[in-house]
Amino acid sequence: MGASGRTPARGPGGARPRLAVWKFASCDGCQLTLLDCEEELLSVAAQVEIAYFLEASSAPGPGPYDLSLVEGSITTPDDLERIRHVRRVSTRLVTIGACATAGGIQALRDFADVREFLSVVYARPDYIATLDRSTPISAHVPVDFELRGCPIDKRQLLEVVSAFLAGRRPVVPPNSVCVECKARGNACVMVAHGTPCLGPVTQAGCGALCPAFDRGCYGCFGPMESPNVRALNRQLRELGMSTPELVRVYRTFNAGEEPFRQASEDADPELLGHEKAPGEDRGGRR
C-alpha cells in the first residue's frame, strides 16, 4: 500500500480533481474537520470539485471520484455493500479517523456480546440490523492511506489532501507523540508529575495536546510505528494504574488496533476468559 501516488490526482482533461466524502458509523467529527478548515475551505473548493459531501451539499455529483475520504466503521450489512461501491467509484480511497481506520469506539462491542448491547439500548432489538463487529474500512476493501485520530487533525487532513493532489507521500509521521511533545516544549507529564500517559506508544499528529493541558495522552491517534506496550505497561503500573484501569485505557477509541488490543489483553489475561476465544477471527486487519 503506502501512498506513493506517482501521478497527481487529476480528473480527465486536467479538470479539477473530484473529491467525495463518505460516512459510515461515526460521530461526523472527522468530516466536520474539513468544514473546520475555515481559512482554507474556499481555496480547497477552488482546487478540487467537492463532488459528494452530504454534510455540506445537497447536490451530490455522480462518480467516479479522484479522491474519496471515508469516515466511519462498518457495522451493518448495508454498509458492507456500500463500502464496496465507494471503492469501485474511487480512484484513491483515504480513510479518515479512528472509526474508519480501527473500528472506532463502537468496536468495543467486539469485546462483548452485541445482542446484549442491543438489549441495553433498545426494547425491541430484533428491529436492529447490525453486525456483531465494528470493523475498519481496510478489513473490506483496499485503502490507499489511513489518516489517524479521534478526531483527525485539521493540518494533517489538509496535508493528505494536498499530498494526494500533488502526487507525493503525505507527511504524516508515524513516530510517538513524545517527538511532538518535546518539540512543542511541554514537560513530560509522566516524568514531571507521575501522570500516566500513552504518548510513548501513540502516534503523533495531534500536536501533543493532552500533555500540553497537563493530562496524559489517551491514545486517540492509535499506536505509533513500534509501540512497546509491555514496557509502558510496567511503568504505568509503577505509577499506580490498576489492572482494570490499564485494560480500559487501551480499550477506547482505537481498541481495534492490534497493539492496543494486545496491550489490554497483556494487562489482564484473565479478562480474556469471558470474551471471544483466542485465534478466532477478530475482523481486524494486519
Partner 1 sequence: MTHKTITVGGLSRVEGEGALLVRARDGRIEDLELRIYEPPRFFEALLRGRSYTEPPDITARICGICPVAYQMSACQAIEAACGVEVTGPLRDLRLLLYYGEWIESHTLHVYLLHAPDFLGYDSGIAMAADHRDLIQQGLALKKAGNDLVAAIGGRPIHPVNVRVGGFYRVPSRRELAPAAERLRRAREIALRTVSWVAGFDFPDVEHGYRFLALRHPGEYAILSGALITSDGGSFGVREWPEHVIEEQVPHSTALHARLDGSPGYLVGPMARYSLNSAQLSPLAREAAAAAGLGPACRNPFLSIVVRAVEIVHACDEALRIIDDLAEPDAPYVPVEPRAATGHGASEAPRGTLYHRYRIDADGLIGEADIVPPTSQNQARIEADLRHLIEPRLDLPEEELATLCERAIRNHDPCISCSAHFLHLHVDSR
Partner 2 sequence: MTAEARQPRAERDEPRPGLSRACTPVRPMTPELYRVRSRRADRVDTVTLQLVPVRGGCPPYLPGQFTMLYAPGVGEVPMSISGRASSGGYVHTIRAVGAVSGALCGKRPGDVVGVRGPYGTWWDIPAAAEMDVVVAAGGLGLAPLRPLVRELVRHRSRYGRISVIAGTRTPATLVYGPELARWRGNGVDVQVTVDHPDHVWKGPVGLVTRLLDRIVFEPRRTFAFVCGPEAMMRATADDLVGRGVAARRVELSLERNMKCGIGWCGHCQLGPLFVCLDGPVLSYERAARLLAVKEL
Partner 3 sequence: METVVIRSLEPLIAELRARGFTVVAPKARDRVIRMDEIASESELPRGHGDEQAPGRYRLRERDDEMLFGFAASPDSAKRYTQPPSRTLFRMRGENIEEPEAEVPRVALLGIRACDLAALAVQDRVFLGGRHPDPDYRKRREALFLVAVNCAVPGGTCFCVSMGTGPKATAGYDLALTELAGPHRFVADAGSARGAEILRALPRVPAAEADLDAAERVSRTAAEHMGRQVDTEGIKERVAGAHDSPRWQQVASRCLTCANCTMVCPTCFCTTVEDSTDLTEGAAERIERWDSCFTLGFSEVGGSPVRGSGAGRYRQWLTHKFSTWFDQFGTSGCVGCGRCITWCPVGIDVTEELANLP
Ligand X SMILES: Cc1cc2nc3c(=O)[nH]c(=O)nc-3n(C[C@H](O)[C@H](O)[C@H](O)COP(=O)(O)OP(=O)(O)OC[C@H]3O[C@@H](n4cnc5c(N)ncnc54)[C@H](O)[C@@H]3O)c2cc1C
177 near 208, Cβ under 8 Å?
yes
Task: Name which of 83 and 208 has its Cβ closer to partner 3.
Answer: 208
Q: What is the rounded (10 degree) CA torsion for 171, 172, 175, 181? A: 100
Task: Name which of 24 and 65 has its Cβ closer to partner 1.
Answer: 24
Q: Is 201 in the site for partner 3 (CB under 8 A)?
A: yes
Task: Name which of 226 and 242 has its Cβ closer to partner 3.
Answer: 226
Q: Is 232 in the site for partner 3 (CB under 8 A)?
A: yes
Q: Which of 82, 43, 83, 87 is nearest to 67 (CA)?
A: 87
Shortest spacing between CB 232 and ligand X, in angstroms? 25
CA distance 251 to 205: 20
Q: Which of residues 238-257 bind ligand X (CB under 6 A)?
A: none
Among the listed ranges 68-76, 166-174, 230-238, 271-279, the one in contact with partner 2 (CB under 8 A) is 166-174
Task: Name which of 5 and 102 has its Cβ closer to partner 1.
Answer: 102
Q: Is 214 in the site for partner 3 (CB under 8 A)?
A: yes
Q: Is 4 in the site for ligand X (CB under 6 A)?
A: yes
| Ramachandran sector of residue 149 (left: φ over 0; alpha: ψ -120 to 50; beta: rest) | left
Which residue in the set 70, 190, 206, 247 belongs to the binding site for partner 3 (CB under 8 A)?
190
Task: Name which of 183 and 231 has its Cβ closer to partner 1.
Answer: 183
CA distance 117 to 109: 7
Shortest spacing between CB 13 and partner 2, in angstroms? 18
Q: Is 2 in the site for ligand X (CB under 6 A)?
A: yes
CA distance 167 to 42: 21
105 near 226, Cβ under 8 Å?
no
Which residue in the set 169, 215, 230, 234 belongs to the binding site for ligand X (CB under 6 A)?
169
Residue 193 contact partner, candidates ligand X, partner 3, partner 1, none, CB within 5 to 8 A by sort of partner: partner 3
Q: Is 58 in the site for ligand X (CB under 6 A)?
A: no
Classify each residue of 70-88 as buried b or exposed e, where b means 16 or more C-beta atoms within 10 Å of its C-beta.
bbbbbbeeebeeebeebbe
199 near 177, Cβ under 8 Å?
yes
CA distance 95 to 138: 8
Q: State how far the alpha carbon of 143 is from the alpha carbons of 50, 91, 94, 169, in Å.
A: 20, 10, 6, 15
Residue 76 contact partner, candidates partner 2, partner 3, partner 1, none, CB within 5 to 8 A by sort of partner: partner 1
Which residue in the set 176, 252, 254, 264 belongs to the binding site for partner 3 (CB under 8 A)?
176
Q: Inter-axis angle of helices 243-250 and 258-267, to 10 degrees?
A: 170
Task: Name which of 86 and 241 has its Cβ closer to partner 3.
Answer: 241
Binding region for partner 2 (CB under 8 A): 2-7, 166-169
Residues near ligand X (CB under 6 A) = 2, 4, 169
